[in-house]
Chains A and B, each alone.
Chain A
Amino acid sequence: MRLIHAATGEGFNPPSAKDFELPPFIEGVDWATKPILLAFLSVIFISVFFIAASRKAAVVPSKLQFAGEGVYNFVREGLGREIIGHDFLKFVPYLFTLFTFILVNNFFGIIPFLQFPTMSRVSFPYVLAAITFFIFHYVGIKKQGIVKYLREIMFMPGVPKPVYILLTPIEIATYFLVRPLTLSLRLFANMFAGHLLLLVFFLGGEHLLNGVLGLKLVSPFAFVIGIGLTFFEFMVQVLQAYIFTLLTALYIAGALADEH
């Protein structure tokens, strides 16, 4: 559609939030949209990759096995053992799933032909943050009992009683609202803004290319910047997947700790 617009020499309509609302690819089936398809695709891809990587496990690893174990070790040692400490092992499956799922879905933003970061639709980060939210509260309640867990959250020891009027609302808001919200919105906003930025430069470059001679001459700059930003996006995608998993691990570690 954009191609036609640019080709007919109409005014440039800049990319907007509308570019993220993709129509269903099966007529009349509302949920059959590209982000859903990408999410499924990522699951298949991750499964195939790690099954293939671990299938012929050998003492001297193949390149594939090395890559697979590298990612796994990174999550297990760097996020699991390092952050959660003691008892980290039972959380590694979740952390690992979370990290790879977000990572691959973020990569879809710059993989040719797919080129859409799943997490730029806000429902996906919401669901992931909700899972993290329930897990870390569940873990905390199970470990300490609901009364003790809530008391630890709400009432910091060693403070004169009237001050709790000021502090307790902040603690409650932090644990039950700000944490899941910032977790999901950080991921969403980064992916959304990144994709929009790429759209601006590539669609803009394309529009310039279809303009008069003077504009044609400038269009390569737009493409070069766009390509540069693609590499930048790659870093952001890895970083955001890491931060989401890191914070999940930190929240679990916080819920497990006897004293904050």
Chain B
Amino acid sequence: MNKDENALWSIFGYLLSGLLVWGGIGYFVDRWLGYDRVFTLVGLLLGMGSALYLVWLRFGRHSG
């Protein structure tokens, strides 16, 4: 129960910060270069992907 519960909350945290960090960076790149939402989208996808990778690294690779 300990492990699962821990994983649940950590995964939520990672996904959220992945989106926030890389989505945020993308947003500012957009503002800086004058694009409209292109880099925000790229950032969000990148953040989501990295966060999922991180989740796999932390919780997936040992139990797989």
Please list the residues of chain A having a beta carbon within 8 angstroms of any beta carbon in chain B: 82-83, 85, 156, 158-159, 163, 166-167, 169-171, 173-174, 177-179, 182, 246-247, 250, 253-254, 260
Contact = CB atoms under 8 A, between A and B. Distances in A.
B54 A171 contact: yes
B25 to A, nearest CB: 8
Interface residues of B, number: 25
A250 B20 contact: no
Given A178-B20, A250-B5, A170 B46 contact: no
Contacts of A158: 57, 61
B5 A170 contact: no
16 contacts: A156-B57, A159-B57, A167-B50, A169-B22, A170-B14, A170-B18, A170-B22, A174-B16, A174-B17, A177-B20, A178-B13, A178-B17, A179-B13, A182-B12, A182-B13, A253-B2
Contacts of B61: 158
A1 B42 CA distance: 51
Given A82-B1, A182-B16, A253-B6, A170 B47 contact: yes
